[in-house]
């Protein structure tokens, strides 16, 4: 079995940037000490990475479409759509994702959900498909955002009402619901988790902090796009935002929250606020619409027409945001910049950072798109990490966090140009 060694690089491992080599065998990251001392062999092929940063591949938990494809459209549904998006997402450093379906009709769910199956990623077929994220239709109408009112559903009596709506949870990983809807906390959330093994996210909600806390105690563990489509923070009732600092929840519970850091949905000051309060829960998501990767223009998402202009995507004829057109790689870069901007001193002169400060911002921004989303899905030992035994899904980044190359299962899936193709990485081969 061929052993690959990636050398002359910096690795993001164990919450730090370290100088080390990355060793790959059979699509997995391996411990070189066991190779040296137990098997007494060396790498068959070495790649000189020319001093770049190697990080885990990005994971997007909420993406509604991309490259002209709409995951909520029953008119174009087929497995080839997912494969096309999965391949093209590698150009943005994404090695795993959850196709997201917005509030739709019952007929649409029963067409879409059986088709969007989980799929292991590869260099040929692109990013891993980790299951579906269903966002709606059990949402609060007052915080529906871009979700159509006529698709929203009334209070369910129990889990059977959700099953009659969706048809099946077989291919589903995350469900976003509004916890204040009657019967959700008592009769729905626990069953979604215990019987079907789903991750319950709360969002598009008018819930108070108290209701949010009850939903968390009932089993919910994720908040859909924090700050967006929920009550704004208020000093007498912080709403769902207050969950980040709640003292009424068990200390063992880790709450994760999605954040759209595209420069449109969330101000950089809000990004810093959330990060400083609860950094370990921050998960970067794109909430991308079908226009991701395409120029300004008019597109469709679900049953709506959307307009994309100057990096803003809105429902046609309104100013209602309907998702982002930023890639996850851009969100990582934006978060790093937001953290850097927060260190500007009162005289508005840029603070001089040492390498430790700079590295901290890089690590925390990348972890928000790697190990944190993996933790939401309980796959942090397999994805979103460069730890020994994990899948060899990783990316090469320059000092500005531009993606240079993407690898899935140890094989190159994409390169920005010929220089970063695997054949040009100064290969040394040993037989």
pLDDT at res. 352: 54
Take residue 165 and report the two structure tokens written for it.
């709506």
DSSP line for 153-175: ----SSHHHHHHHHS--TTEEEE
Q: What is the pLDDT of residue 348?
A: 55
Residue-wise pLDDT for 97-120, tens only, equals 999 999 999 999 999 999 999 999
Point out the catalytic residue in the list 60, 70, 287, 391.
287
| Per-residue model confidence as pLDDT tens digits over 30-80 | 999 887 777 767 888 999 999 999 999 999 999 999 999 999 998 877 778
Give yes or no for residue 427 having a pLDDT over 90.
no
69 or 431: which leads in pLDDT? 69
CA distances (Å), 210 to each of 96, 179, 244, in order? 34, 11, 13
pLDDT at position 147 over 80 = yes
pLDDT at 214: 98
Taking residues 186-190, report their average pLDDT: 97
- pLDDT (0 to 100) of residue 371: 98
Binding-site annotation: residue ranges: 135, 146, 204, 225, 228-229, 236, 265, 321-323
**What residues form DSSP beta bridges with 128?**
96
Q: How far is residue 304 CA from its own chain's centroid?
A: 24
Whether the per-residue pLDDT at 350 is higher than 80: the answer is no
Closest alpha carbon to 52 in 118, 6, 94: 6
Mean pLDDT across 192-216: 98
Confidence tier at 9 by pLDDT (50, 70, 90): very high
pLDDT band for position 354 (cuts 50, 70, 90): low
Q: What is the pLDDT of residue 347?
A: 42
Q: Checking DSSP bridges between strand 3-7 and strand 45-48, what pairing results, if any?
A: parallel
Q: Lowest-pLDDT range, 60-74, 87-101, 194-208, 341-355?
A: 341-355
Task: Select the more confidently predicted residue: 300 or 335.
Answer: 335
pLDDT at 338 over 70: yes
Span 58-356+359-373: which CATH code?
3.20.20.140
Q: Which residues are annotated as a binding site for substrate?
A: 146, 228-229, 236, 265, 321-323
pLDDT of residue 68: 92
Which DSSP letter does residue 321 get?
Answer: B
Contact 60, 328 (CB under 8 A): yes
Tokens of residue 102, six digits: 């917005």
pLDDT of 84: 96
Global pTM value: 0.96
Domain 3-55+386-429 homologous superfamily, CATH: Urease, subunit C, domain 1 (2.30.40.10)
Residue 307: the pLDDT is 92
* Cβ pair 137, 147 in contact under 8 A: yes
Residue 80 tokens read as 């080839």
Angle at 162 between CA 159 and CA 167, to 5 degrees: 120
341 is catalytic: no
- Chain-centre distance of CA 267, in angstroms? 19
The predicted model gives 336-347 an average pLDDT of 77
- pLDDT at position 48 is 95
Q: Where are the domains of the chain?
A: 3-55+386-429, 58-356+359-373
Share of the chain above pLDDT 70, in %: 96
What digits encode the pLDDT tens for the residues 253-299? 999 999 999 999 999 999 999 999 999 999 999 999 999 999 999 98
| pLDDT tens profile 165-185 | 999 999 999 999 999 999 999
Q: Report, as an integer, the average pLDDT of 357-381.
A: 95
Query: Of residues 36 and 206, which shows the higher confidence score?
Result: 206
- The Cα 339–Cα 137 span in angstroms is 35
Mean pLDDT of 378-396: 98
């Amino acid at each position: 079995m061929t052993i690959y060694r990636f050398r002359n690089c910096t690795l993001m491992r164990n919450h730090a940037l370290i100088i080390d080599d990355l060793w790959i065998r059979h699509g997995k990251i391996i411990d070189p000490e066991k190779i040296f001392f137990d098997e007494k062999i060396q790498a068959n092929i070495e790649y000189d990475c020319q001093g770049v940063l190697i990080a885990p591949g990005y994971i997007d938990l909420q993406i509604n479409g991309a490259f002209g494809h709409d995951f909520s459209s029953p008119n174009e549904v087929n497995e080839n759509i997912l494969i096309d998006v999965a391949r093209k997402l590698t150009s943005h450093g994404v090695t795993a994702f959850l196709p997201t379906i917005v509030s739709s009709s019952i007929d649409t769910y029963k067409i879409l959900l059986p088709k969007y199956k989980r799929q292991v990623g590869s260099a040929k077929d692109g990013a891993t498909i980790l299951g579906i994220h269903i966002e709606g239709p059990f949402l609060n109408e007052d915080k529906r955002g871009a979700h159509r009112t006529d698709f929203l559903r009334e209070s369910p009596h129990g889990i059977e009402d959700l099953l009659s709506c969706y048809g099946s949870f077989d291919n589903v990983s995350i469900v976003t619901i509004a916890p204040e809807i009657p019967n959700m906390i008592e009769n729905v959330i626990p069953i979604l988790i215990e019987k079907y093994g789903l991750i319950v996210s709360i969002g598009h909600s008018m819930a108070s902090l108290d209701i949010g806390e009850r939903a968390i105690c009932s089993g919910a563990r994720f908040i859909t796009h924090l700050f967006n489509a929920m009550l704004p923070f208020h000093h007498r009732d912080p709403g769902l935002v207050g969950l980040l600092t709640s003292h009424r929840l068990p200390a063992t519970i880790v709450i994760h929250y999605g954040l759209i850091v595209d420069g449109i949905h969330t101000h950089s000051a809000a990004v810093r606020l959330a990060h400083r309060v609860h950094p370990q829960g921050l998960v970067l998501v794109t909430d991308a619409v079908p226009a991701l990767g395409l120029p300004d223009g008019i597109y469709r998402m679900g049953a709506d027409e959307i307009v994309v202009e100057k990096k803003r995507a809105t429902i046609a004829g309104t100013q209602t945001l309907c998702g982002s057109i930023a890639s996850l790689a851009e969100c990582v870069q934006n978060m790093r910049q937001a953290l850097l901007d927060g260190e500007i001193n009162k005289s508005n002169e840029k603070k001089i950072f040492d390498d430790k400060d700079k590295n901290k911002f890089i690590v925390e921004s990348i972890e928000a798109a790697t190990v944190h989303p993996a933790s939401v899905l309980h796959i942090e030992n397999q994805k979103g990490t460069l730890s020994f035994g994990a899948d060899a899904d990783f990316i090469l980044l320059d000092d500005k966090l531009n993606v240079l190359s993407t690898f899935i299962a140890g094989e190159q899936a994409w390169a920005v140009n010929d220089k970063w193709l695997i054949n040009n990485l100064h290969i040394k081969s040993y037989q």
